[in-house]
Amino acid sequence: MLNEDTQKTVAETEEITITGIGASPGICIGKAYMVDTEGVNVVKRYRIDNDDLVNEINRFKTAVKKAGDEFQAIIDSSRDKFNGHTPILETHQALLKDKMLFGRTIETIEKEQINAEWALKKVAGKLTTMFRQMDDPYLQERTVDVTQVAERILRSLVGADSVNIAEIDKRVILVAGDLTPAETSQINLERIKGFITDRGGMASHTGIIARTLGIPAVLGMGAATKTIQNDDLIIVDGLQGLVVIHPAEQTLVDYEDLRFRYEQFKAEIVRDSFCEAQTMDGIDIKIMGNIELPEEVVSVGDHGGDGIGLYRTEFQYMNRLDYPTEDELFDKYRDVVEIMAPKPVTIRTLDINGDKAIAGAREAVEINPALGLRGIRYCLQRPDIFTTQLRAILRAAAYGEVRLLLPMISCCAEIDETRRLMDQAAEDLAADGVKFNRDIKTGIMIEVPAAVIMADALAEKVDFFSIGTNDLIQYTLAIDRGNREVAYMYHPLHPAVLRMIKRVTNVAAKKEIEVYICGEMAGDLIHIPILLGLGFNELSMNPQAIPTVKCFIRTLNLDEAKAFLGEVFIQRSAEDIRQIIYERYGDRLAQMRITMSP
Ligand code: PEP
Ligand code: MG
């Protein structure tokens, strides 16, 4: 019989497979690196005896001191970067010792005889509610400061040191409860082989970045952080959405083989990606790349992209305390435009908030951010920030073909106001004697159902539409794109979504404007026949998907795809549509995939 210790060892090393959402394809094998971004969320309440009260208060004071030291270290290290100005951190440092937070927490520990974590949470909660209810917007904004300061003290109290992803210096696989898009964008490809998270869904920005980086990722694992421990050997199978913990020897051999075949398959398909994506009946389809960071432009080129269909500019505003300057933005935009020239670059204006909060945008405290001050709404409320970006884009447009794309449009007035700001920016640039180009195509994202309904009116104000299916699906089906609990309902093939898209392509044809698609739906092979049938001749996707999509398009016939729509639009569910796609295109799809058995 096994003794207790041996039993534990056997149990701990037994192979376990957990399933999640395969958000980025590929296989990686390596050691787990636990990233605790949320130890502070699991605070428990417990009673402190009279005799222990002094100790508890001292524990709190020590945590405050530690948090203060951490702030100071960050302030010191960022002085050069921010020309001596670190106002947010300095506010935070002052708040640490503020009577309302510091003093009241100590009072609460004493009076209510409760632990420091609970007392702090209670006091911070009351303070944020108080600030939120104030009329003065400046004071309302203090809620974020209080929350962030309280979180930092809590981290010291519970001993959850925050991990700086950019500084990880081992070849590892990240395991986290969740990663924000800002954290994901700090991943260093030379170190991080892949990642898995408990939460998140296919269309979350975290998943999108994983695909763009080209590293395997499985999201929405549920309880990966409870099952996996630091340094555990794990396999991330982004093709099937599986994670194997403590793999047995045979499993490792099988996965090494699959990884090898997958890499080979990818290399083969990339070789052909520099040729056009032409259907069997001779129609050229442009396949563009989506990028988040300027450096990714290289990946679009390497994967045979015909241009940039979506440059998500908000990532340049993340992981920093201030806003980028016009020159900083211009330099990056010009680089991308020059590298891509003569191919077009579609620069989307700032789409922050929603799930992409940035440090400076205090509105991050919104209770329902997906429906909040996101994208164009934020920009029109902050014309100073918006104008800085518009000027940088107009200047970059002098160096190649730039298209300007506006996110989250839901009414005509937003376009009118943006055009007014653009005219003003152009006038000012001319007065400043700076080189720029005002003559650029301007389009809007169609990603809010209101924009679909209003498409005929909106079409009169713009040169093109670009359908953002990630949000269009989220808002049409009322499914949070990053929520694993409802991920099973997130269906690009839902008849309601397809009808929305059809309505937009019909309007675009009637109004004779271009219509593109840049949501994640465009990068998934199963959707391609329908999208071609609907008349799209330009699709934009994560760069990694370009070669396979091009290869698949070469097996399709446009007339057949158009005729196929007749069958699609009489179906009543996403499952039925998926089924008929497999019946018609299954063989061709199978050739594009690689599976476990050779
Ligand atoms: C979309 O919503 O489909 C889109 C492309 O934009 P994002 O994913 O950045 O919201
Ligand atoms: Mg969107």
Q: What is the pLDDT along the chain (598 residues), one digit of tens a residue?
A: 333 333 334 445 789 999 999 999 999 999 999 886 554 555 678 899 999 999 999 999 998 988 888 777 766 765 554 445 556 667 777 777 888 899 999 999 999 999 998 999 889 888 888 887 777 766 766 777 787 788 778 877 876 555 678 788 899 999 998 887 777 877 888 899 999 999 888 788 888 888 888 899 999 998 888 899 889 999 999 999 999 999 999 999 999 999 999 999 999 999 989 999 999 999 999 999 999 999 899 999 999 999 999 999 999 988 776 889 999 999 999 999 999 999 999 999 999 877 776 655 544 467 788 898 999 999 999 999 999 999 999 999 999 999 999 999 999 999 999 999 999 999 999 999 999 999 999 999 999 999 999 999 999 999 999 999 999 999 999 999 888 889 889 999 999 999 999 999 999 999 999 999 999 999 999 999 999 999 999 999 999 999 999 999 999 999 999 999 999 999 999 999 999 999 999 999 998 887 765 4
Atom of ligand 1 nearest to the CA of 312: 9
Q: Rounded to the nearest whole angstrom, what is the distance from the C-alpha of residue 448 to the centroid of ligand 2?
A: 9
Ligand nearest to the backbone CA of 409: 2
Residue of 215, 225, 219 whose CA lies nearest to 191: 215
Calculate ∠ Cα 205-209-210, nearest 5°.
Answer: 115
Let me know if domain 273-470+513-592 sits in CATH 3.20.20.60: yes
* Cβ(542) – ligand 1 distance below 6 Å: no
Structure confidence by residue, pLDDT tens digits, 523-573 = 999 999 999 999 999 999 999 999 999 999 999 999 999 999 999 999 999
> What is the pLDDT, as a whole number, of residue 128?
82
Structure-block tokens of residue 550? 């091009």
DSSP, res 103: I
DSSP letters, 246-310, are: S--HHHHHHHHHHHHHHHHHHHHHHHGGGS-EE-TTS-EEEEEEEESSGGGHHHHHHTT-SSEEE
- CA of residue 469 to ligand 2 center, whole Å: 7
Residue 92 annotated in active site: no
Q: Are 33 and 170 in contact (CB under 8 A)?
A: yes
* Residue bearing the CA closest to ligand 1, atom 1: 468
Atom of ligand 1 nearest to the CA of 351: 9
Is any atom of ligand 1 closer than 6 Å to the C-beta of 305? no
Distance 290 CA to ligand 1 centre (A): 10
Neighbours of 432 (CB within 10 A): 9
Residue 232 near ligand 1, beta carbon < 6 Å: no
Class of domain 16-32+170-260: alpha beta
Query: CA–CA separation, 329 vs 394, rounded Å?
Result: 11
* pLDDT the model gives residue 139: 73
Q: Is 69 exposed, middle or buried (0-12, 13-18, 19+ CB in 10 A)?
A: exposed
pTM: 0.77
- The answer to whether 389 and 446 are in contact (CB under 8 A) is no
353 lines ligand 1 (CB under 6 A): no
Residue among 517, 525, 415 at smallest CA distance from 468: 517
348 lines ligand 1 (CB under 6 A): no
CA 519 to ligand 1: nearest atom: 3
What is the 8-class DSSP label of residue 17?
E
Q: Is the CB of 518 under 6 A from ligand 1?
A: yes
Task: Looking at the CA of 470, name the nearest ligand.
Answer: 1
Q: Is the CB of 470 under 6 A from ligand 1?
A: yes
- Residue 143 near residue 131, CB atoms below 8 Å: yes
Tell me if 375 CB under 6 Å of ligand 1: no
Q: Residue 205 C-alpha to ligand 1 middle, in angstroms?
A: 8
Of 358, 406, 445, the residue with max ligand 1 atoms within 8 A of its CB, to mutate for a pocket test, comes to 445
Contact indicator for 275, 62 with CB cutoff of 8 Å = no
Atom of ligand 1 nearest to the CA of 520: 3
User: Domain ranges in the chain?
Assistant: 16-32+170-260, 50-158, 273-470+513-592
CA distance 561 to 563: 5
Atom of ligand 1 nearest to the CA of 290: 5
Query: What pLDDT is recorded for position 177?
Result: 87
**Backbone angle region of 222, left / alpha / beta, with phi > 0 → left and psi within -120 to 50 → alpha:** left
- pLDDT for residue 251: 96
User: Which runs of E-coded beta strand occur in 330-474?
Assistant: 345-348, 402-406, 441-446, 464-467
Write the residue with the smallest CA distance to atom 8 of ligand 1.
Answer: 470
Ligand with an atom nearest the CA of residue 522: 1
Q: What's the Cα-to-Cα distance from 465 to each of 407, 432, 452, 565, rounded to whole Å?
A: 11, 32, 10, 21
Amino acid (1-letter code) at residue 376: I
The amino acid sitting at 597 is: S
* DSSP designation for 315: G
pLDDT in tens, 370-397: 898 999 999 999 999 999 999 999 999 9
Ligand 1 pocket, 519 CB below 6 A? yes
Class of domain 50-158: mainly alpha
Catalytic residue among 205, 303, 494, 527: 205
Is 412 among the catalytic positions? no
Closest-lying ligand 1 atom to the alpha carbon of residue 354:
10
At position 580, the amino acid (one-letter code) is: I
Burial zone of 74 (CB within 10 Å; 0-12 exposed, 13-18 middle, 19+ buried)? middle
Give bridge partners of residue 167 from the DSSP assignment.
none
Taking each helix axis as running N to C, give the angle between helix 53-78 and helix 87-96, from 0 to 180 degrees, rounded to the nearest 10: 170
pLDDT at 44: 72
Residue in 92, 491, 494, 518 annotated catalytic: 518
